[in-house]
Amino acid sequence: MCYSYGVFLASMFSGDTLFELRTSMQLAELEREHGVSPRVSPMIDIRDVGSLLSRSGFALTTIDVDDIIVNYPTMFELMIDLKAMGESNSVLARRPFLKRDTLLAASAIYKELHGKPDNTIPATFQIVYFIGWKPDISQSKPKPRGSAKMSLKDVLEK
């Protein structure tokens, strides 16, 4: 039997990534086409990352989140960047095309709801970073509860 151990480091877009684009597209489609089709790929929820790591056999997991906001002149430059990043919509159950007037309406809604005074629009990218360790005999183990020689309160007051 072969055992693998070591560290797993990863990062990915999560949760509220591109919420401005998602809501603008949904409102425009609802108004123009009387229905909504997923136009932004779904993102993993941060709470699920820890569950996935532990179900995969990782221990000592650490999860951190960064929100990065990038300003764009219009929604169309954002979409060009997303395509260049390989972040085009991967959802198969969506309408195959988007009408021009729906796209223009989404751009106007985006600017109206989220636009900044300098005539730019923000795009929020929420990035989750996670680390997990595969257990090994040589791996550090946490000390038993109550085994400390000094109180944390005493250390912090110094």
CATH of the domain at 85: 3.40.50.150
- Would 1 be classed as within a structural domain? no
Q: Which residue matches tokens 């877009």?
A: 13
Span 16-43, mean pLDDT?
Answer: 85
> What SS3 state is found at 127?
strand
Distance, CA of 82 to CA of 89 (rounded, Å): 9
- Which residue would you say has higher pLDDT here, 139 or 76? 76
Assigned token pair, 67: 């929100």
Q: Where are the alpha helices (DSSP H) in 36-134?
A: 46-55, 75-84, 100-114
- Would 19 be classed as within a structural domain? yes
- Would 131 be classed as within a structural domain? yes
Residue at 106: amino acid letter: A
Q: Tell me the per-residue pLDDT of 105-152, one tens digit each, with 9 for 90 and over.
A: 999 999 999 999 999 999 999 999 999 888 777 767 778 888 888 887
Residue at 21: amino acid letter: L
Q: Is 112 exposed, middle or buried (0-12, 13-18, 19+ CB in 10 A)?
A: exposed
- Cα→Cα distances 97→19, 39, 69, 149, Å: 21, 10, 28, 66
Mean pLDDT of the chain: 86
Q: How many domains does the chain have?
A: 1
Assigned token pair, 56: 């995969």
Distance, CA of 12 to CA of 129 (rounded, Å): 7
Per-residue pLDDT at 90: 67
Which structural domain, as residue segments, surrounds residue 25? 6-157
Per-residue pLDDT at 125: 94
Per-residue pLDDT at 96: 73
The predicted model scores a pTM of 0.74
